[in-house]
A and B are shown apart, each in its own frame.
Chain A
Amino acid sequence: MSNTRVKFYQTGTFTVGNRLLDDSDRTVQSRPERTNSLNSGHRACQGCGEALGARYAIDAAMRAANNQLVAVNATGCLEVFSTPYPETSWQIPWLHSLFGNAPAVASGVAAALRAKGKKDTKVIAQGGDGGTVDIGFGCLSGMFERNDDVLYICYDNEAYMNTGVQRSGSTPAAAHTATTQAVGSQPGNPFGTGKSIPLIAMAHGIPYVATASVADLHDLEAKVTKAMGVTGARYVHVHVPCPLGWGCDPSYTLKVARLAVESGLFPLFEAEYGEVVARTPIRRLIKVDEYLKLQRRFQHLFGEPGQPAVIAAIQAQAERNIKRFGLVEKGEAK
């Protein structure tokens, strides 16, 4: 599946499915035969973005790998809600070891498959932002540097949700969490924080790095599919809202994710061997407040007296992204 937009007909490739698209343009999620790698009955919260992102990503990977897939999971929401004894929601071979070692464990799986000559079986490692950008970062960097044949997928919901919404290394500026109170001169998460693992991954010069969002399924599936076609270390960073931790209505999960992209706060791009090779343009450019307003974690920025300066700083950050990645095409954003 390519991620070139098909605009013809009502919703083009913006919706999950479309009765008039060529088979090659259809999403995996639109297919009745999709694997539902992450099955019903899991204990994720209502409207969980991570549950959705995981099924999106793994189903696409399964299709790309012809169902010959092994997944390694870091500790976190995804692991806890999907495999509480005595039930698991996974339909694929799946291994959970620790919070901080998923990339290394995946390297081991890949090594074992290589040793056993099982060339057709592919390996995926997945974790939340905590397990990826913080505690698992050392192992991740090692896996990148060795260029092990693993696709690592990070589901980024911007805080430690499993333990009750504490700040992580990818918590955005000004966000209120259980450990970044919305008081004082720098309310919420202090500025200058939040590391971009995609950029750090690029610095390793690995063959493929991409960012994606649950709000843009075609884009996400195209990137996972592309990543699965590459050998070596690959990284896909998926933005997945957490209704609980972000304080927004469960039905807004995709809406919020969409606004993050449309505001420029979460840029969608692809990089190969350390160079950005493609970006997904913003469709309808919006101001960041539209995105921030929907979330309780940013509530302190609004109302009286509010924090106009902070909002302006966040807007500036969004504009830096837009400039850096060229997210707005002439005539593209309406």
Chain B
Amino acid sequence: MLKQIEGSQAMAAAIAMCRPEVISCYPITPQTHIVEALSAMTKRGELGSCQFINVESEFAALSVLIGASATGARSYTATSSQGLLFMAEAVYNAAGLGLPIVMTIGNRALGAPINIWNDHSDSMSMRDAGWIQLHAESNQEAVDLHLQAFRLAEELSCPVMVCVDGFILTHAYERVDLPTQEQVDAYLPPYDPVQVLDPAEPVSIGAMVGPEAFAEVRYLAHHKQLRALELLPRLAEEFAHGFGRSSGGLLSEYRTADAETIVIALGSVNGTIKDTVDELRDTGMAIGAVKLCSFRPFPLAAVRAALQKAKRVIVIEKDLAVGLGGIVASNVRMALRGLPVAVHTVIAGLGGRAITKVSLRRVFTEVHAQSESFAEPHFLDLNWQVVEKELARQAEQRRAGPTAENVLRQVNAIGTRVH
């Protein structure tokens, strides 16, 4: 059913239709609207016997789900930013124990300085934890990915993160086609765990494993993600069949057929990229785009196949591997190793900095024209004036004070400018 609805509400509705049995959460912006909605539904009895648990920290939130999932309950939570970091130990543990928990990440920057706005630093920090990470471009896809996430998690017995850009999607009202309960039930069978805490059949879960078997356990975790590479397209296909629209999968291509330059990115920025691509196409530029949905597992083969015909690739990413550059870009380079394709990293949208068509257009054009001056990595819309001023100031006095505040003072206009 079509609905004009806030992203968080839409996702909550979809998650509810997945019949979760235990939901546990701790408040942190910008994911809160999702769990608030689920809490209300639980209270209204719309989720049957589902238990909604308010806990004292994100660490506890995921820990509660570890217990619940190991007891055979379909388990869900959501978090963002610092919350995910505070969870970190449990994040690794849930994956290590192979518990099919689904968690929404309302992507948000990491402090300090504290910043509540969107980028991908948080989920990137957990990219090697053994969770599957799927990124949504729109709220429609956010809804659809949650349905696929539970299916995928439970088939593999592996936890899944659905990454949704904070505010940009979570707080955006737009048209969403919500599935019916019948459709969801048909797509998502009841949870049949591979291991469960049951007095009738006792097992010890979470043994200490020494050097003699640890490497094997890790390999098996890796192997699980390789299986996900096969499973994801199949589930997407099945989804398209059952719901009449395509969502998810490993990645999707946009006007790449004859493209010399291909832009690749995660999440909601793909919409703006597509509009920009259309405009540039109108000027005759051979440019296309690839939307990467699955970041973990990273679909090396699919990415290679999608990009190999291009002359150059631009990676737009909302994160920064400090001291290296792009995280997605490094993965893309790995996919393209051995091919004569130039990969350019564009660090953009950090801490909520708006990514505008204008800026993208400028960058795409520059790269397409193979300008020598293009820096690697390129920081989109970086205010060099401010940076150089601050660097100079730091150079002259040791006690230069807090950088963040100094920078703000220079850009004197908090929240009043559009960008």
Contacts and interface: CB of A to CB of B under 8 A. Distances in A.
Interface stretch (A66-74, A191-199, A215-223): A66-74
B66 interface: yes
A329 interface: no
29 contacts: A69-B199, A79-B206, A80-B208, A82-B204, A84-B207, A93-B199, A94-B205, A95-B204, A95-B205, A96-B204, A97-B66, A98-B93, A104-B59, A104-B61, A105-B64, A105-B66, A108-B22, A108-B68, A109-B71, A110-B67, A111-B53, A111-B67, A112-B71, A112-B72, A113-B71, A114-B51, A115-B50, A138-B57, A146-B54
B73 interface: yes
Contacts of B53: 107-108, 111, 146
Interface in B182-241: 197-199, 201-210, 212-213
Contacts of B314: none
B51 A83 contact: no
> Which of B24, B57, B198, B204 has most chain A Cβ within 10 Å?
B204
B199 A70 contact: yes
B55 A83 contact: no
Contacts of B66: 95, 97, 101, 105, 108
Contact of B199 (A98, A105, A121): A121
A233 to B, nearest CB: 13
A111 B21 CA distance: 9
Contacts of B56: 138-139, 141-142, 145
Interface string A54-88: 00000000000001111011000001101111101
Interface in B70-110: 70-73, 75, 89-90, 93, 97
A259 to B, nearest CB: 33
Nearest to A110: B67
Interface in B43-69: 49-51, 53-57, 59-61, 63-69
Given A85-B207, A117-B49, A139-B60, A98 B89 contact: yes
B90 A93 contact: no
Interface of A: 67-70, 72-73, 79-80, 82-86, 88, 90-98, 100-101, 104-117, 121, 138-139, 141-142, 145-146
B204 to A, nearest CB: 4
Given A112-B22, A116-B72, A85 B208 contact: yes
Given A96-B206, A142-B56, 18 more contacts: A70-B199, A73-B206, A82-B204, A85-B208, A85-B213, A93-B202, A94-B204, A98-B93, A101-B66, A104-B61, A109-B67, A109-B197, A111-B73, A112-B22, A116-B73, A138-B60, A139-B56, A146-B53
A105 B212 CA distance: 28
A11 B199 CA distance: 36
The 8 closest A-B pairs by CB, nearest first: A108-B67, A96-B206, A142-B56, A112-B73, A101-B63, A104-B63, A112-B71, A108-B64
Contacts of A84: 207-208, 210
B59 A100 contact: yes
Contacts of A145: 56
A105 B60 CA distance: 8
Contacts of B50: 115
Contacts of A95: 66-67, 70, 197, 204-206
A112 B22 CA distance: 6
A100 to B, nearest CB: 7
A97 B68 contact: no
Contacts, number: 167
A94 B71 CA distance: 10
Given A93-B203, A146-B54, A139 B59 contact: yes
A157 B372 CA distance: 67
Given A115-B21, A115-B22, A90 B197 contact: no
A88 to B, nearest CB: 4
Nearest to A107: B64
Q: Among B50, B60, B97, which residue has the most Cβ atoms of chain A within 10 A?
A: B60
Nearest to B48: A115
A67 B201 CA distance: 12
A92 B67 contact: no
A105 B205 contact: no
Q: Is the interface of A mostly helix, strand, loop or mixed?
A: mixed
Contacts of B198: 93
Contacts of A92: 199, 202
Contacts of A83: 204, 206-208
Interface string B303-341: 000000000000000000000000000000000000000
Contacts of A96: 204-207
A112 B196 CA distance: 11
A97 B206 contact: yes
A104 B55 CA distance: 8
Nearest to B206: A96
Nearest to A94: B204
Contacts of B49: 114-117
A196 to B, nearest CB: 21
Contacts of A93: 197-199, 201-203
Contacts of A82: 204
Contacts of A109: 67-68, 70-71, 197
Looking at A85, A97, A101, A107, which has the most chain B CB atoms within 10 Å of its CB? A97
B73 A115 contact: yes
Interface in B361-378: none
A108 B202 CA distance: 18
B205 to A, nearest CB: 5
A109 B205 CA distance: 13
Contacts of B70: 95, 105, 108-109
